[in-house]
Structure 1
Amino acid sequence: MAATPPVCDFGWKAPDFTLLGTDGQNHSLSALAGEAGTLVMFICNHCPYVLAVLDRILRDARDLQALGVGVIAICSNDAESYPADDFENMKKMAAEQAFPFPYLHDEDQRIARAYDAACTPDFFGFNSAMELQYRGRLDASRNTAGPADLRRDLFEAMKQVAETGRGPSDQIPSMGCSIKWKAA
């Protein structure tokens, strides 16, 4: 089922975290933050919305890192109900796709809840003071990749954040599969 996150809550402060990465190391938000801003992405292995644009996510991550933006991906899905999203499969995907960013496992879903993550992909773009400036889409793709010449909404917004500390006032929310929450 497709889900859409709420609009950007400008200035909302990023909750810190420490999570296990696919590299076997624990990573904290504060250690991964970039000089010019930080992008926290909630993604997963099985979502058709993520898979359709994964090459674009990787491209934009590399381009943003070159601008001094830290990039982090988190998988929070219930791996018991969705085994494709378990930690071993996360490690395989990160290696096969040569992720240029840490891919972190939010096994207890505490971080997804703290961020109020709604879907995969869900993008949170913070300035250097860790204040939210972007909560929008990657581009106009949905569960299939759009044309190669689509406007790079995420990249352009985070480039603006890196240069000015502020995100664009007009943002179009991301759309994707809902976070797969564990049963209460």
Structure 2
Amino acid sequence: MASTPPVCDFGWPAVDATLPGVDGKKHAIFEQAGPNGLVVAFICNHCPYVKAVIARIVRDAADLKKEGIGFVAISSNDAGSYPEDSFDNMKLFAAAHGFSFPYLYDEDQKVAAAYGAACTPDFFGFNSDFTLQYRGRLDASRKEEGAPNLRRDLYEAMKQVARTGNGPLDQIASIGCSIKWKETV
């Protein structure tokens, strides 16, 4: 089922946590920040919206690094109900797509709940003070990859954050599969 997150709550403070990564190490979210900010992306392995744009996510993460923006991806889906999103499958997904950023597992879903993550993909863009400046889409792609010349909404917004500390006032929410919550969350 498709879900759309709310619009950006400018100034909302990022939440730090330490989670296991597919590289076998534990990573603190804040340690992934660059000098100009951080993108926290909630994704998963099985979502058709993520699959349609994963190459673009990897590209934009690499390009944002050049702008001083760090990037981290988190999977919070209930792997018991959605085995394709298991930690072992996260390792395979990251390797298959050449992730150059940490891919972390939020097994108890506390981080997704703290962020108010609504869908996959759901992007949170923070400035160097860890205050929210962007909560929007990657680009206009949906369940299918969009045209190659689509405006790179996340990338352009975070370039602005890198240069000014502030995100654009006009943002278009991401859309994707809803986070697959456990019954106990």
TM-score by length of 2: 0.98
> How much has 1:97 moved relative to structure 2?
1.2
Partner of 2:144: 144
Structure 1 runs (4+) greater than 4 angstroms displaced: none
Q: Distance in 2 between matches of 1:52 and 1:94?
A: 15
Find the residue that maps to 1:45 and give its secondary structure.
coil
**Where does 1:9-20 land on structure 2 (aligned, <5 Å)?**
9-20=9-20
**Where do 5+ consecutive residues of structure 1 fail to align?**
none
Find the residue that maps to 1:125 and give its secondary structure.
strand
How many residues align? The count is: 184
Amino acid corresponding to residue 72 of structure 1 in structure 2:
V
Find the residue that maps to 1:161 and give its secondary structure.
helix
1:181 and 2:181 are equivalent in the alignment: yes
1:89 and 2:111 are equivalent in the alignment: no
Partner of 1:102: 102
**Where does 1:53-132 land on structure 2 (aligned, <5 Å)?**
53-132=53-132
> How much has 1:30 moved relative to structure 2?
2.2
Q: Distance in 1 between matches of 2:30 and 2:183?
A: 30
Q: Distance in 2 between matches of 1:133 and 1:174?
A: 14
Q: Distance in 1 between matches of 2:132 and 2:171?
A: 13
**Where do 5+ consecutive residues of structure 2 fail to align?**
none
Amino acid corresponding to residue 183 of structure 1 in structure 2:
E
Q: Distance in 2 between matches of 1:52 and 1:98?
A: 15
Q: Distance in 2 between matches of 1:119 and 1:149?
A: 25
Find the residue that maps to 2:20 and give its secondary structure.
strand
Q: Distance in 1 between matches of 2:132 and 2:52?
A: 26
**Where does 1:147-162 land on structure 2 (aligned, <5 Å)?**
147-162=147-162
Partner of 2:35: 35
Find the residue that maps to 2:143 and give its secondary structure.
coil
Find the residue that maps to 1:171 and give its secondary structure.
coil
> How much has 1:33 moved relative to structure 2?
1.4
Q: Distance in 2 between matches of 1:103 and 1:19?
A: 9
Q: Distance in 1 between matches of 2:145 and 2:86?
A: 25
State, as a whole percentage, how many aligned pairs show the same letter: 66
Find the residue that maps to 1:61 and give its secondary structure.
helix
Find the residue that maps to 2:137 and give its secondary structure.
coil
